[in-house]
Amino acid sequence: MSDTPTIDYNARFIELLKSTNRPGLDAVIDGLGKLGFFNAPASSKHHLAEAGGLVRHSLNVCEQALLIRKAQISLRPDIAEKVPEESVILVSLLHDICKADIYKQVEKFRKDKDNRWEKYLAYETDYTHCPLGHGEKSVIRLLRMGLELNNDEIAAIRWHMAGWDLVDSYEAKGNFNAACDKYPLLPIIIAADELATRILEVA
């Protein structure tokens, strides 16, 4: 039997979140638990499509974002005060809370190696609980839970999907570009999310 200790991702998530000392986090953690955040997958079939995947993805984004922040500050020391570590941690860990209640497990069938049908569990998406969008939903939920977020953090969570969430709208693109220019936290989170999804979480 392996004696490698199991990582308690939920405990790590809560410890890291609380390290920011932002008022309102107890209510957020309680709210996330009620929404199913700690058991949710990160996607239905792409990255970390398994129970607990969303917590692991959030931690991966945080790890990437802290590294990117450090690298960017070494190149542009003047941005340091615009990207406090506290904001990077909060936004990374909470950017995808909109996904906490969109996945449901369903039974599906597939052929096994002997060409016989077998049952398996898969995830499907259901957006009917709170159909407000992606980043928008995360922001609204956090504010409703009583978390204090500044403008940089709101913009970074709202627009973290970047091109994936930009419909063919002149106004949406204008807002997104303005937010990227104004808040360096936003491109840091976009890059971290992409690197976590496409490098860290690829099997």
Q: Who contacts 97 (Cβ-Cβ below 8 Å, separation ≥6)?
A: 32, 35, 37, 138, 141, 142
Q: Which is nearer to Fe ion, 96 or 101 (CB)?
A: 96
Q: Which is nearer to Fe ion, 75 or 202 (CB)?
A: 202
CA distances from 181 to 43, 89, 192 (A): 29, 20, 17
- Separation between Cα atoms, residue 66 and residue 85, nearest integer Å: 7
Q: How far apart are the first and last CA of the chain?
A: 23
- The only residue of 101, 153, 193, 201 in contact with Fe ion, by rule CB under 5 A: 193
Q: Which is nearer to Fe ion, 96 or 152 (CB)?
A: 96
The CA radius of gyration of the chain, in Å to the nearest whole number, is 18
- The only residue of 37, 96, 100, 149 in contact with Fe ion, by rule CB under 5 A: 96
Among the candidate windows 1-9, 77-85, 122-130, 189-197, which touches Fe ion by CB under 5 A?
Answer: 189-197
Listed residue (89, 83, 103, 42) closest to 185, CA to CA = 83
Identity of the amino acid at 99: K
Count of residues that bind Fe ion according to CB under 5 A? 2
> Residue 120 CB, nearest distance to Fe ion (Å)?
25
> Residue 65 CB, nearest distance to Fe ion (Å)?
11
> Residue 78 CB, nearest distance to Fe ion (Å)?
28
> Residue 195 CB, nearest distance to Fe ion (Å)?
11
Q: Which is nearer to Fe ion, 10 or 60 (CB)?
A: 60
Q: Does 153 bind Fe ion (CB under 5 A)?
A: no
- Separation between Cα atoms, residue 115 and residue 110, nearest integer Å: 9
> Residue 46 CB, nearest distance to Fe ion (Å)?
11
DSSP, res 4? P
Binding site for Fe ion (CB under 5 A): 96, 193
